[in-house]
Structure 1
Amino acid sequence: MTRGFEIVSSYTDKDLRVPYRSTQQAAGYDFESAVDFTVPSIWKLNFLKVLWAIWHQETVSAAETDKAKAILKPFLIPTGIKAYMGADEVLILANRSSNPLKRGLVIPNGIGVIDADYYNNDSNEGEIFMQVLNFGLTDVLIKKGDRIGQGIFLNYLTADNEAQPRQQRKGGFGSSGR
Protein backbone atom coordinates (compact mmCIF):
# COMPACT_ATOMS: atom_id res chain seq x y z
CA MET A 1 0.00 0.00 0.00
CA THR A 2 1.51 3.30 -1.11
CA ARG A 3 -0.97 5.94 -0.01
CA GLY A 4 -4.54 6.07 1.14
CA PHE A 5 -7.01 6.66 3.92
CA GLU A 6 -8.27 4.75 6.93
CA ILE A 7 -10.90 5.39 9.57
CA VAL A 8 -9.43 6.08 13.03
CA SER A 9 -10.27 3.55 15.73
CA SER A 10 -12.64 5.83 17.69
CA TYR A 11 -14.88 6.11 14.60
CA THR A 12 -14.81 2.47 13.46
CA ASP A 13 -18.53 1.91 14.06
CA LYS A 14 -19.72 5.41 13.10
CA ASP A 15 -20.59 4.73 9.44
CA LEU A 16 -17.96 7.05 7.91
CA ARG A 17 -16.73 7.11 4.33
CA VAL A 18 -13.05 7.41 3.51
CA PRO A 19 -12.25 10.43 1.30
CA TYR A 20 -13.14 9.98 -2.36
CA ARG A 21 -12.76 11.73 -5.70
CA SER A 22 -16.11 12.96 -7.02
CA THR A 23 -15.18 12.90 -10.71
CA GLN A 24 -12.67 11.04 -12.90
CA GLN A 25 -10.47 14.12 -13.35
CA ALA A 26 -10.67 15.39 -9.74
CA ALA A 27 -7.29 15.92 -8.08
CA GLY A 28 -8.77 16.27 -4.60
CA TYR A 29 -10.29 13.65 -2.34
CA ASP A 30 -13.43 14.99 -0.65
CA PHE A 31 -13.38 14.86 3.15
CA GLU A 32 -16.66 14.64 5.05
CA SER A 33 -17.46 15.76 8.57
CA ALA A 34 -17.55 12.87 11.05
CA VAL A 35 -20.07 14.66 13.30
CA ASP A 36 -22.71 17.37 13.35
CA PHE A 37 -20.75 20.55 14.09
CA THR A 38 -21.75 24.20 14.46
CA VAL A 39 -19.15 26.75 13.33
CA PRO A 40 -19.98 30.10 14.98
CA SER A 41 -19.83 33.32 13.00
CA ILE A 42 -16.89 35.61 13.85
CA TRP A 43 -19.28 38.59 13.96
CA LYS A 44 -20.55 37.66 17.41
CA LEU A 45 -19.51 38.83 20.88
CA ASN A 46 -18.56 42.45 20.09
CA PHE A 47 -16.01 41.53 17.44
CA LEU A 48 -16.88 44.64 15.40
CA LYS A 49 -16.59 46.81 18.52
CA VAL A 50 -13.07 45.52 19.15
CA LEU A 51 -12.07 46.05 15.51
CA TRP A 52 -13.43 49.60 15.60
CA ALA A 53 -11.50 50.38 18.78
CA ILE A 54 -8.27 48.98 17.38
CA TRP A 55 -8.74 50.90 14.12
CA HIS A 56 -9.29 54.12 16.06
CA GLN A 57 -6.41 53.33 18.43
CA GLU A 58 -8.62 53.36 21.48
CA THR A 59 -8.06 51.32 24.58
CA VAL A 60 -9.58 47.87 24.36
CA SER A 61 -10.21 45.91 27.55
CA ALA A 62 -8.40 42.63 28.03
CA ALA A 63 -11.77 40.87 28.20
CA GLU A 64 -12.85 42.27 24.83
CA THR A 65 -9.49 41.39 23.29
CA ASP A 66 -9.78 37.86 24.67
CA LYS A 67 -13.28 37.59 23.17
CA ALA A 68 -11.99 38.73 19.78
CA LYS A 69 -9.11 36.24 19.93
CA ALA A 70 -11.51 33.46 20.89
CA ILE A 71 -13.72 34.33 17.91
CA LEU A 72 -10.75 34.22 15.54
CA LYS A 73 -9.49 30.91 16.89
CA PRO A 74 -10.11 28.32 14.17
CA PHE A 75 -12.50 25.50 14.80
CA LEU A 76 -11.41 21.93 14.13
CA ILE A 77 -14.02 19.80 12.42
CA PRO A 78 -13.28 16.11 13.00
CA THR A 79 -13.14 13.84 9.96
CA GLY A 80 -12.47 10.50 11.68
CA ILE A 81 -9.89 9.86 8.96
CA LYS A 82 -6.13 9.31 8.91
CA ALA A 83 -3.88 9.16 5.85
CA TYR A 84 -0.81 7.10 5.06
CA MET A 85 1.71 7.97 2.36
CA GLY A 86 5.33 7.65 1.31
CA ALA A 87 8.11 9.37 3.28
CA ASP A 88 8.59 11.93 0.47
CA GLU A 89 4.88 12.77 0.20
CA VAL A 90 2.49 15.19 1.84
CA LEU A 91 -1.29 15.47 1.94
CA ILE A 92 -2.39 19.06 1.32
CA LEU A 93 -5.80 19.99 2.72
CA ALA A 94 -7.65 22.64 0.75
CA ASN A 95 -11.01 24.32 1.02
CA ARG A 96 -13.86 23.33 -1.26
CA SER A 97 -14.75 26.11 -3.68
CA SER A 98 -18.33 26.15 -2.35
CA ASN A 99 -17.38 26.70 1.30
CA PRO A 100 -16.61 30.45 1.19
CA LEU A 101 -19.40 31.16 -1.29
CA LYS A 102 -22.23 29.15 0.24
CA ARG A 103 -21.17 28.83 3.88
CA GLY A 104 -18.68 31.63 4.59
CA LEU A 105 -16.09 29.06 5.71
CA VAL A 106 -12.38 29.52 5.05
CA ILE A 107 -9.22 27.70 6.05
CA PRO A 108 -7.37 30.38 8.05
CA ASN A 109 -3.87 29.60 6.78
CA GLY A 110 -5.00 28.78 3.25
CA ILE A 111 -4.05 25.10 3.33
CA GLY A 112 -3.41 22.33 5.81
CA VAL A 113 -0.28 20.20 5.68
CA ILE A 114 -0.44 16.55 6.75
CA ASP A 115 3.05 15.06 6.97
CA ALA A 116 3.69 11.35 6.50
CA ASP A 117 4.80 10.99 10.14
CA TYR A 118 1.42 12.29 11.40
CA TYR A 119 0.01 8.82 10.67
CA ASN A 120 0.01 6.50 13.74
CA ASN A 121 2.73 8.34 15.66
CA ASP A 122 3.51 7.65 19.33
CA SER A 123 0.77 9.68 21.01
CA ASN A 124 -1.73 10.31 18.23
CA GLU A 125 -3.42 8.01 15.78
CA GLY A 126 -3.26 10.75 13.17
CA GLU A 127 -6.87 11.89 12.86
CA ILE A 128 -7.23 14.71 10.35
CA PHE A 129 -9.25 17.76 11.32
CA MET A 130 -10.41 20.46 8.91
CA GLN A 131 -9.49 23.84 10.39
CA VAL A 132 -12.06 26.56 9.55
CA LEU A 133 -13.26 30.05 10.38
CA ASN A 134 -16.77 31.26 9.65
CA PHE A 135 -16.79 34.75 8.11
CA GLY A 136 -20.50 34.45 7.34
CA LEU A 137 -23.10 36.51 9.17
CA THR A 138 -24.68 33.52 10.90
CA ASP A 139 -23.52 30.29 12.48
CA VAL A 140 -23.10 27.38 10.06
CA LEU A 141 -24.34 23.90 10.88
CA ILE A 142 -22.22 21.19 9.31
CA LYS A 143 -24.04 17.88 9.25
CA LYS A 144 -22.30 14.54 9.54
CA GLY A 145 -21.41 13.49 6.00
CA ASP A 146 -21.23 17.04 4.59
CA ARG A 147 -18.17 17.58 2.41
CA ILE A 148 -15.95 20.08 4.23
CA GLY A 149 -12.65 20.08 2.36
CA GLN A 150 -10.42 18.17 0.03
CA GLY A 151 -7.04 16.51 0.21
CA ILE A 152 -4.41 16.25 -2.51
CA PHE A 153 -1.39 13.95 -2.27
CA LEU A 154 1.86 15.51 -3.54
CA ASN A 155 5.54 14.64 -3.68
CA TYR A 156 7.91 17.23 -2.22
CA LEU A 157 11.59 18.03 -2.63
CA THR A 158 14.26 18.72 -0.02
CA ALA A 159 17.30 20.98 -0.23
CA ASP A 160 20.70 19.47 -1.16
CA ASN A 161 22.48 21.10 1.78
CA GLU A 162 19.80 20.49 4.39
CA ALA A 163 20.87 19.66 7.93
CA GLN A 164 18.86 16.48 8.52
CA PRO A 165 16.18 16.94 11.21
CA ARG A 166 16.77 14.66 14.18
CA GLN A 167 13.45 15.16 15.92
CA GLN A 168 10.74 12.56 15.50
CA ARG A 169 7.06 13.45 15.79
CA LYS A 170 5.62 12.38 19.10
CA GLY A 171 2.24 14.07 19.06
CA GLY A 172 -0.70 15.13 17.01
CA PHE A 173 -2.04 18.38 15.64
CA GLY A 174 0.58 21.14 15.80
CA SER A 175 3.12 18.97 17.61
CA SER A 176 6.16 19.55 15.39
CA GLY A 177 6.92 22.97 16.89
CA ARG A 178 5.70 26.49 17.52
Structure 2
Amino acid sequence: MIEAQVGRRYAEAIYEIAESNDNVKELYETLNGVMELYNTDKEFKTLVDHPLIKREDKKEFAKKIFGELEESSLNIIFYLIEKDRLSSIRGIVAEYLKIYYAKNQILDVEAIFAIEPTKDQKAKLIEQLEKKTGKKVNLEVSIDKSIIAGGIIKIGDEIIDGSVRRQLDTIARS
Protein backbone atom coordinates (compact mmCIF):
# COMPACT_ATOMS: atom_id res chain seq x y z
CA MET A 1 0.00 0.00 0.00
CA ILE A 2 2.71 2.46 0.99
CA GLU A 3 4.79 1.44 -2.03
CA ALA A 4 1.85 2.22 -4.32
CA GLN A 5 1.39 5.62 -2.69
CA VAL A 6 5.09 6.37 -3.10
CA GLY A 7 4.97 5.27 -6.72
CA ARG A 8 1.91 7.40 -7.38
CA ARG A 9 3.33 10.50 -5.71
CA TYR A 10 6.64 10.33 -7.55
CA ALA A 11 4.99 9.41 -10.85
CA GLU A 12 2.68 12.42 -10.63
CA ALA A 13 5.58 14.78 -9.97
CA ILE A 14 7.72 13.25 -12.70
CA TYR A 15 4.83 13.31 -15.17
CA GLU A 16 4.24 16.98 -14.44
CA ILE A 17 7.89 17.74 -15.14
CA ALA A 18 7.79 15.66 -18.32
CA GLU A 19 4.70 17.51 -19.53
CA SER A 20 6.28 20.88 -18.89
CA ASN A 21 9.39 19.78 -20.81
CA ASP A 22 7.28 18.18 -23.55
CA ASN A 23 9.08 14.84 -23.23
CA VAL A 24 6.47 12.55 -21.68
CA LYS A 25 7.20 9.55 -23.91
CA GLU A 26 10.96 10.00 -23.76
CA LEU A 27 10.93 10.15 -19.99
CA TYR A 28 8.75 7.04 -19.84
CA GLU A 29 11.30 5.22 -21.98
CA THR A 30 14.08 6.44 -19.71
CA LEU A 31 12.27 5.32 -16.56
CA ASN A 32 11.45 2.00 -18.16
CA GLY A 33 15.13 1.54 -19.07
CA VAL A 34 16.19 2.36 -15.51
CA MET A 35 13.63 -0.12 -14.19
CA GLU A 36 14.84 -2.83 -16.53
CA LEU A 37 18.45 -2.22 -15.53
CA TYR A 38 17.53 -2.18 -11.84
CA ASN A 39 15.63 -5.46 -12.20
CA THR A 40 18.21 -7.29 -14.30
CA ASP A 41 21.64 -5.98 -13.32
CA LYS A 42 22.63 -7.11 -9.82
CA GLU A 43 25.69 -4.86 -9.74
CA PHE A 44 23.64 -1.77 -10.57
CA LYS A 45 20.96 -2.65 -8.04
CA THR A 46 23.49 -3.40 -5.32
CA LEU A 47 25.35 -0.17 -5.92
CA VAL A 48 22.32 2.14 -5.93
CA ASP A 49 20.74 0.40 -2.94
CA HIS A 50 23.88 0.13 -0.82
CA PRO A 51 23.52 2.38 2.24
CA LEU A 52 27.27 2.93 2.68
CA ILE A 53 27.88 4.26 -0.82
CA LYS A 54 27.53 8.03 -0.95
CA ARG A 55 24.72 9.46 -3.02
CA GLU A 56 27.20 11.52 -5.01
CA ASP A 57 29.06 8.35 -5.97
CA LYS A 58 25.77 6.73 -6.97
CA LYS A 59 24.94 9.75 -9.13
CA GLU A 60 28.37 9.62 -10.75
CA PHE A 61 27.85 5.94 -11.51
CA ALA A 62 24.41 6.70 -12.98
CA LYS A 63 25.90 9.51 -15.06
CA LYS A 64 28.38 7.07 -16.59
CA ILE A 65 25.54 4.74 -17.52
CA PHE A 66 22.91 7.29 -18.55
CA GLY A 67 25.15 10.18 -19.58
CA GLU A 68 23.75 10.41 -23.11
CA LEU A 69 20.27 11.27 -21.83
CA GLU A 70 18.76 14.73 -21.86
CA GLU A 71 19.62 16.75 -18.79
CA SER A 72 16.02 16.75 -17.54
CA SER A 73 15.86 12.93 -17.70
CA LEU A 74 19.22 12.60 -15.99
CA ASN A 75 18.07 14.99 -13.27
CA ILE A 76 15.02 12.79 -12.61
CA ILE A 77 17.30 9.78 -12.14
CA PHE A 78 19.54 11.82 -9.85
CA TYR A 79 16.51 12.92 -7.85
CA LEU A 80 15.36 9.32 -7.40
CA ILE A 81 18.86 8.41 -6.24
CA GLU A 82 18.94 11.40 -3.89
CA LYS A 83 15.65 10.32 -2.31
CA ASP A 84 16.60 6.61 -2.25
CA ARG A 85 13.63 5.78 -4.47
CA LEU A 86 15.19 3.70 -7.24
CA SER A 87 13.98 0.67 -5.31
CA SER A 88 10.45 1.98 -6.01
CA ILE A 89 11.07 2.32 -9.75
CA ARG A 90 8.64 -0.46 -10.72
CA GLY A 91 5.77 1.27 -8.92
CA ILE A 92 6.78 4.67 -10.26
CA VAL A 93 6.84 3.40 -13.85
CA ALA A 94 3.50 1.60 -13.44
CA GLU A 95 1.85 4.72 -12.01
CA TYR A 96 3.46 6.95 -14.64
CA LEU A 97 1.97 4.75 -17.34
CA LYS A 98 -1.45 4.88 -15.67
CA ILE A 99 -1.29 8.67 -15.64
CA TYR A 100 -0.21 8.72 -19.29
CA TYR A 101 -3.05 6.40 -20.29
CA ALA A 102 -5.62 8.40 -18.34
CA LYS A 103 -4.53 11.73 -19.81
CA ASN A 104 -4.39 10.32 -23.33
CA GLN A 105 -7.61 8.31 -23.18
CA ILE A 106 -5.85 4.96 -23.58
CA LEU A 107 -7.33 1.81 -22.14
CA ASP A 108 -5.36 -1.33 -21.29
CA VAL A 109 -7.30 -4.40 -22.36
CA GLU A 110 -6.26 -8.00 -21.82
CA ALA A 111 -7.81 -10.59 -24.11
CA ILE A 112 -7.42 -14.30 -23.46
CA PHE A 113 -8.24 -16.79 -26.20
CA ALA A 114 -7.88 -20.53 -26.67
CA ILE A 115 -6.07 -19.97 -29.97
CA GLU A 116 -4.13 -17.03 -31.39
CA PRO A 117 -6.47 -14.62 -33.19
CA THR A 118 -5.53 -13.36 -36.64
CA LYS A 119 -4.39 -9.79 -37.23
CA ASP A 120 -7.79 -9.01 -38.71
CA GLN A 121 -9.58 -10.42 -35.66
CA LYS A 122 -7.38 -8.36 -33.34
CA ALA A 123 -7.97 -5.23 -35.40
CA LYS A 124 -11.73 -5.80 -35.38
CA LEU A 125 -11.72 -6.37 -31.61
CA ILE A 126 -9.73 -3.18 -31.05
CA GLU A 127 -12.09 -1.26 -33.32
CA GLN A 128 -15.17 -2.54 -31.48
CA LEU A 129 -13.67 -1.84 -28.05
CA GLU A 130 -12.62 1.66 -29.09
CA LYS A 131 -16.12 2.35 -30.38
CA LYS A 132 -17.69 1.01 -27.18
CA THR A 133 -15.34 2.78 -24.75
CA GLY A 134 -14.56 5.94 -26.68
CA LYS A 135 -10.88 5.42 -25.85
CA LYS A 136 -7.83 4.20 -27.70
CA VAL A 137 -7.23 0.54 -26.82
CA ASN A 138 -3.89 -1.03 -25.96
CA LEU A 139 -4.60 -4.73 -26.49
CA GLU A 140 -2.56 -7.51 -24.88
CA VAL A 141 -3.46 -10.97 -26.14
CA SER A 142 -2.58 -14.18 -24.35
CA ILE A 143 -3.38 -17.80 -25.07
CA ASP A 144 -4.94 -20.21 -22.58
CA LYS A 145 -6.04 -23.51 -24.10
CA SER A 146 -7.93 -24.40 -20.91
CA ILE A 147 -10.76 -22.02 -21.86
CA ILE A 148 -11.47 -24.44 -24.75
CA ALA A 149 -12.95 -21.80 -27.10
CA GLY A 150 -14.28 -18.27 -27.01
CA GLY A 151 -12.50 -15.60 -25.07
CA ILE A 152 -12.16 -13.54 -21.93
CA ILE A 153 -11.79 -9.76 -22.09
CA LYS A 154 -10.43 -7.85 -19.09
CA ILE A 155 -10.88 -4.09 -19.03
CA GLY A 156 -9.69 -2.75 -15.71
CA ASP A 157 -11.81 -4.46 -13.06
CA GLU A 158 -14.45 -5.58 -15.57
CA ILE A 159 -14.27 -9.12 -16.94
CA ILE A 160 -16.32 -10.29 -19.89
CA ASP A 161 -16.09 -14.07 -19.93
CA GLY A 162 -17.34 -15.65 -23.13
CA SER A 163 -15.30 -18.81 -22.77
CA VAL A 164 -16.67 -22.29 -23.29
CA ARG A 165 -14.96 -23.30 -20.02
CA ARG A 166 -17.14 -20.85 -18.05
CA GLN A 167 -20.26 -22.03 -19.84
CA LEU A 168 -19.44 -25.65 -19.03
CA ASP A 169 -18.73 -24.74 -15.41
CA THR A 170 -22.08 -22.94 -15.23
CA ILE A 171 -23.89 -25.98 -16.62
CA ALA A 172 -22.04 -28.30 -14.21
CA ARG A 173 -23.13 -26.18 -11.23
CA SER A 174 -26.79 -26.19 -12.31
Q: Which structure has the highest helix share of the two?
A: 2
- TM-score, normalization by structure 2: 0.26
Higher relative contact order (CA 8 A, sep 6+): 1
- TM-score, normalization by structure 1: 0.26
